[in-house]
Amino acid sequence: MAEKVLAWHFLRDDKRMQFRDGRRVEDGEIVEVGKTYKAEGDLKLCANGMHASVRAIDALDYAPGPIICRVELSGKIVDGGDKVCARSRKVLWMADATHTLHEFACWCAEQALLQEREAGREPDARSWAAVKAKRQWLQGEISDEELDAAWDAARAAAWDTATDAALPSARDAAWDAAWTAARAAARAAAWTAATAAAWAAARDAARDAATDDAWAAAWTAARDVQNTELERMLNELAP
């Protein structure tokens, strides 16, 4: 495949290249907007090439940090499904997505909690409170210690649900929803919290599927919805 493809790529917070893989740049060079980076030699996924993902939700799974780049891939391109590697990668724009990724983690947690509510399994109030506390923390309205307390409470809610005497399927679904909220509330690295919350919420969305095919379809649908929301949020960072 040889064409131009728009894609997403995350960088560490120092904006430096992460790997030496045949690129015509110094290892650790700071990435610049408007610059095109190239790889030499045979392209190979995970080994040699300028990597990125067509979908933001897939790029998030590989994120080493919170700096998001909108990139244009060109030349020969090797498609690996959730990521691709290309001969060249041009950085169109770049932004610090730390706040956005924390917000996305909260959104994923809310999706899991709302699904439980719609299924007639009202989540523990501590789970809802954890998401609210995370947003207050992002706005500077509560301290690190208060956010940590909300995380501890939501984690306790997940544990209480796990040991409840409810039917296993209901218990497992409610536990996952509670844990998703707790994970989103953690004062962890933004990309780590966002990735964990997204995977947990997608798993919850597919939990009630009766067959493997139905599970796969529900999982894919949930990830598609997540991608739409994440790309909407990230595009708001564009200059």
pLDDT of residue 45: 87
* Single-letter amino acid, residue 59: A
* Residue 142, phi then psi, degrees to nearest 5: -135, 165
Note the pLDDT tens digit of each residue in 24-68.
444 567 889 999 999 888 888 888 889 999 999 999 999 999 999
Instruction: Tell whether the torsion through CA atoms of 174, 119, 221 and 235 is positive or negative.
Output: negative
Of 74, 4, 84, 69, which is closest to residue 31 (Cα–Cα)?
69
C-beta separation of 202 from 216 below 8 A: no
Instruction: Tell whether the torsion through CA atoms of 19, 22, 27 and 29 is positive or negative.
Output: negative
Note the pLDDT tens digit of each residue in 101-130.
999 999 999 999 998 888 888 888 998 999
Neighbours of 162 (CB within 10 A): 14
Note the pLDDT tens digit of each residue in 161-191.
666 544 445 556 677 788 888 888 888 899 9
C-beta separation of 231 from 225 below 8 A: no
Q: Which long-range contacts (C-beta less than 8 Å, at least 24 apart) are formed by 227-232?
A: 227/55, 227/56, 227/57, 227/58, 229/104, 229/107, 230/56, 230/57, 230/60, 230/104, 230/198, 231/8, 231/55, 231/56, 231/57
Domain boundaries, the chain: 5-96, 99-235
Residues 6+ apart with CB under 8 A from 216: 206
Q: For the stretch 167-192, what's the b/e string if a residue is b when 16 or more beta carbons lie within 10 angstroms of its beta carbon?
A: eeebbebbbbbbbbbbbbbbeebbbe
Note the pLDDT tens digit of each residue in 73-110.
999 999 988 999 999 999 999 999 999 999 999 999 99
Distances (CA, A) of 223 to 200, 209, 239: 11, 15, 26
